[in-house]
Structure 1
Amino acid sequence: MMVMDACYILQFIDKLPITGNPFSDNKLRSRNIALDLVLLENQIPFFVLQGIYDLTLGTLTPDQPALTTMLKALLDLINPFEEPLRVQNVIPDDHILGLLHKIYKPNFRLQEIKEIPTAHSAVELDKVGVKIRPNKNLTWPMAMEFEYSLSSHKPTLRMPVVRIDNFFEVVLRNLIAYEQYSPVENYVTSYAMAMHMLAANPVDIAKMGKSGVIVSHLGSNEKASDMISSICKNVNLQDFYYMEPWKNIGKYYDSYWLRNFGLFKRTYIDTPWKAIALFAAIIVFLITVIQFFRQLVTPFL
């Protein structure tokens, strides 16, 4: 059975990049097949796939790309992130789902802190002036970074752009299940938990969609919020790999002056027209005060 499955996978990924092939040009069928191949229960040992590849495609076609390169075309079909997948220096050792997990893994070790972080939703962060923006310079595929400096006064949480659809749910659920039952780092579980904190309600989904970090294909913000919340249900959070940006966000959120300055800026000067109106109101107020004191002083002159 494993030999037959491996032969089918190799045939599928070999035909996948070829245009004009009815077997691979049906995008919906190709995505469904790719999704089926990352289900945890459908995994076959990678050494079986590699061995049959070496005996067939690798031998018959000398210029055939490496197996991991061919599998990248398969995984690109179900990658929910806007950032393209990279397989350079990725050495698979278990199966296709494990390969995808390694692709999402950072090439450096993140700090592990075993504690539950403080949760702030996207709307809560927006109220105190924290903007959420796409991360164009990802240090790893699921990187989230908090940027703030006293000179710019623009606190920003940068995160990868993700498409929320049924494929997103299945891919993350299987990666999380793989992390829960295998001796690997819990990067995907941490990402899902972070998304659950940020997108706690439909209004958070709307805010993140407006910010350009979420592209929802589910038809309603309620469905997207429910999906993100359900992914982490009954999941054990062993390590949280976003503790550094979350701690910095917490410091900003709990700081009286920074938080209230952000709230003031968002309320009164976040647009040029509001800034002009505030400036005009201050001038009118000063003129009124000056005239008032003139009227008090005039009788004594």
Structure 2
Amino acid sequence: MSNKEGSSSHAVSQQEIHVEEREPILPRTVKILLDFVDRRQDKDKFSSIFEVPRRLREVNPSSFTPRVVSIGPLHKGRENLKLMEDKKASFLHEFLTGVPGSREETLKKCDEQVRGSVDKIRRCYFGMKPYSEDELVQMMVMDACFILQFIDNLSKSGDQHSENRLRSRSVALDLVLLENQIPFFVLRDIYELTFKTLESKPSLNTMLLNLLERVNPFFEKLKVEDLSGEEDPYHILGFLHDFYQIKNSKPPGIEELPRAHSAVELHEVGVRFRPNENETPNENRTWIMAMAFEQSSHKPTLRMPKVLIDNFFEVALRNLIAYEQYSTPVRNYVTSYAMAMDMLAATPADIARLGKSGVIVNHLGSNEKASNMISSICKDVTFLDFYYIESWNEAKKYYDSYWSKNIGVLKRKYFSTPWKAIALLAGIILFLIAVVQFVFRVIKFTSLR
């Protein structure tokens, strides 16, 4: 190489270094935002476990905060959860006693399996505190073993009434909080290394089904065959969400919010409300949250899922909606249901009407509490899709028809209260008496002539 070539090469090298040194250093906040964008654009990088954004959390913070047990890193160390944190050791001992092999051997296999997935586990969380590899592995193994042993104990206890039943349901509810999750593949890996080796244990999906039935607000039972089965969910909350999906569905195209008619308004024009579960199964039953407007019978009917309205209903729906709102690959089935209920149950009178129709069972103590709670669930929620648009359009068409409007006016004017109905009936009777008297007088006058 000549001296000229050498000096030229050296100049280029110096120029490259100079360019690298001049590249701006991005602020930490910008790096975080760019990383968040990258994760949302790539499903494989999507962080499925995250803190619920403030605009949803502030409406009701308690709906997203575990009451009994902490799972995963986002609520680790909370003072009010330390009691159950200490009890996890007892669950771990019971778990290790029930699987073949020595405790040391079992834990070693679990440790090695989870340790090999540490980087993948970290990518599942957004906003997680910095934990060392040992701390994260210990947390994942402990929490996975706790979950498996807890749901195994649920299957043994059945539905017996005991002082611990409410506490068990509270733990079950904690296990479906968005911020209180571990990756599903961690749970499945631990299950396959332990419980799957025992012939006496059911499949993981069956075990989880027993857990989720305790937080499912709908009276219709969850069924394993309702799952898509395409791939593992992100976590237990995602597994619950799978039961509320429509198979092979496409997001409905809507350009504006559908016209909202309340239960009372629809009832005034002759629409009945009937729970799905009491009728013969049909194509609409393929979706647990199906609502269908039918006019084939002698009276128009809106068929709906029968649901229990209580505090567990609120927590489950809020977490499912937060999951849908901020998870790019997840569709807004539960958000659609909440929006539909918000339209139908706008007032305490609407709750009373749906209650009389057997569509809802209200355990909140008053119709006002129920209507306020349903309205608050949809506060600050983005309206993206509406999977009831076809039924809502049919109901609107019927509501706007000539005969239904006149029926509504008649009901509001003359039958809105018992006294109005009695007054109308009395008026009709007096009118008929007057007509009869007039006819007799005409007959008498004609006979005299």
**TM-score, normalised relative to structure 1:** 0.86
Q: How many residues align?
A: 289
In the alignment, the residues of structure 2 paired with residue 148 and residue 289 of structure 1 have an alpha-carbon distance, to the nearest angstrom, of: 43
Aligned mate of 2:359, from 194, 202, 213 = 213
Distance 1:89 1:219, change over 3 A: closer
Output the amino acid matched with 1:71. L
**Is structure 2 residue 279 aligned with structure 1 residue 142?**
no
What's the CA shift for 1:15? 1.4
**Is structure 2 residue 398 aligned with structure 1 residue 252?**
yes
Contact kept, 8 Å, 2:270 with 2:404, in 1: the verdict is no
Deviations 1:4-32 (A, max 9, x none): 1111001111111113999x982111111
What's the CA shift for 1:286? 6.6
Output the amino acid matched with 1:134. P
**Is structure 2 residue 303 aligned with structure 1 residue 158?**
yes
In the alignment, the residues of structure 1 paired with residue 196 and residue 149 of structure 2 have an alpha-carbon distance, to the nearest angstrom, of: 12
| Partner of residue 263, structure 2 | 122
**Is structure 2 residue 222 aligned with structure 1 residue 85?**
yes
Greater shift in the superposed pair: 98-107 or 286-295: 286-295
What's the CA shift for 1:62? 2.3
Secondary structure at 1:17 match in 2: helix
Higher RCO, 1 vs 2 (CA within 8 Å, ≥6 residues apart): 1
Secondary structure at 1:43 match in 2: coil
Output the amino acid matched with 1:109. S
| Partner of residue 245, structure 2 | 105
Larger radius of gyration: 2
In the alignment, the residues of structure 2 paired with residue 110 and residue 300 of structure 1 have an alpha-carbon distance, to the nearest angstrom, of: 81
Secondary structure at 1:143 match in 2: coil
| Partner of residue 17, structure 2 | none
Distance 1:129 1:21, change over 3 A: closer
**Is structure 2 residue 67 aligned with structure 1 residue 67?**
no
| Partner of residue 167, structure 1 | 312
Flag structure 2 segments of 5+ consecutive residues without an equivalent: 1-138, 416-420
In the alignment, the residues of structure 2 paired with residue 184 and residue 287 of structure 1 have an alpha-carbon distance, to the nearest angstrom, of: 70
Deviations 1:19-50 (A, max 9, x none): 3999x982111111110010001111111100
Distance 1:256 1:17, change over 3 A: same
What's the CA shift for 1:107? 2.2
What's the CA shift for 1:199? 0.6
Deviations 1:124-172 (A, max 9, x none): 11111111111124331111111113xx430111101111111000000
Contact kept, 8 Å, 1:113 with 1:241, in 2: the verdict is no
- Structure-to-structure mapping, 1:1-301, within 5 angstroms: 1-19=139-157, 26-59=164-197, 61-88=198-225, 90=227, 91=229, 92-109=232-249, 112-114=252-254, 115-136=256-277, 137=281, 138-149=285-296, 152-182=297-327, 183-261=329-407, 287=436, 290-291=439-440, 294=443, 298=446
Secondary structure at 1:215 match in 2: strand
In the alignment, the residues of structure 2 paired with residue 257 and residue 200 of structure 1 have an alpha-carbon distance, to the nearest angstrom, of: 25
Deviations 1:250-295 (A, max 9, x none): 0011001233246658968xxxx99xx79x9597677456446546
Distance 1:295 1:237, change over 3 A: farther
Secondary structure at 1:132 match in 2: strand
Greater shift in the superposed pair: 244-253 or 124-133: 124-133
Greater shift in the superposed pair: 11-20 or 241-250: 11-20
In the alignment, the residues of structure 1 paired with residue 275 and residue 409 of structure 2 have an alpha-carbon distance, to the nearest angstrom, of: 22
**TM-score, normalised relative to structure 2:** 0.59
Distance 1:110 1:206, change over 3 A: farther
Flag structure 1 segments of 5+ consecutive residues without an equivalent: none
